[in-house]
């Protein structure tokens, strides 16, 4: 990985700057060097949904990178960001030569597919208050700050 990442140059994005949009060419994936990135999509009628928030150390844009098709969602810098783009032309031959990386990429894709399946199940089987409560609990587990206060003291 050091060989692959070492060849790249980071790119900086400012808060709320679009990194890529749905249907853009999938010519690279991004590794988040520092920051948080939001993944969003919207309907033809303009309704937007926030799909995911990624943080330092995570990658995104892998779907379009792997299949060579268009982006499936938008990516937006949630704060000033430093990202490392990895071009498809460099990544695919590297992936072929490093099967352990291919296995790790499959694990990332499987995690995201499981997450998508959970969202679909929740949409079908849970009413809005329960979906919201479940999503807020998940977000608190993933991104909440530990207050140090004893339970029930707030």
Task: Write down the mean pLDDT value for the chain.
Answer: 86
Q: What is the pLDDT of residue 25?
A: 92
Q: What is the pLDDT of residue 69?
A: 93
Q: What is the pLDDT of residue 98?
A: 87
Angle between helices 128-143 and 99-125 (to 10 degrees): 150
Q: What is the pLDDT of residue 108?
A: 86
Query: Could you read off the pLDDT of 83-116 as tens digits, one per residue?
Result: 999 888 888 888 888 899 889 889 988 988 898 8
Percentage of residues of the chain with pLDDT beyond 70: 88
d(CA 21, CA 48): 13
d(CA 61, CA 40): 12
> With contact defined as beta carbons under 8 Å apart, do 31 and 86 qualify?
yes
Question: With 60 as the cut, is the pLDDT of residue 147 above it?
Answer: no
Q: Name the H helices within 25-145.
A: 62-67, 88-97, 99-125, 128-143
């Amino acid at each position: 990985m050091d060989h692959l990442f070492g060849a790249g140059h980071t790119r900086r994005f400012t808060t709320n700057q679009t990194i890529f949009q749905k249907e853009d060419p999938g010519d690279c994936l991004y590794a988040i060097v520092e920051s948080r990135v939001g993944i969003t999509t919207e309907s033809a009628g303009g309704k937007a949904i926030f799909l995911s928030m990624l943080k330092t150390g995570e990658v995104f844009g892998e779907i379009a990178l792997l299949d060579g098709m268009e982006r499936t969602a938008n990516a937006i810098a949630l704060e000033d960001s430093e990202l490392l783009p990895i071009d498809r032309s460099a990544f695919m031959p590297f992936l072929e030569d490093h099967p352990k990386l291919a296995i790790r990429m499959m694990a990332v894709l499987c995690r995201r597919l499981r997450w998508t399946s959970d969202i679909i199940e929740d949409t079908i089987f849970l009413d809005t208050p329960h979906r919201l409560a479940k999503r807020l609990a998940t977000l608190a587990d993933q991104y909440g700050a530990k207050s140090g206060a004893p339970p029930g003291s707030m």
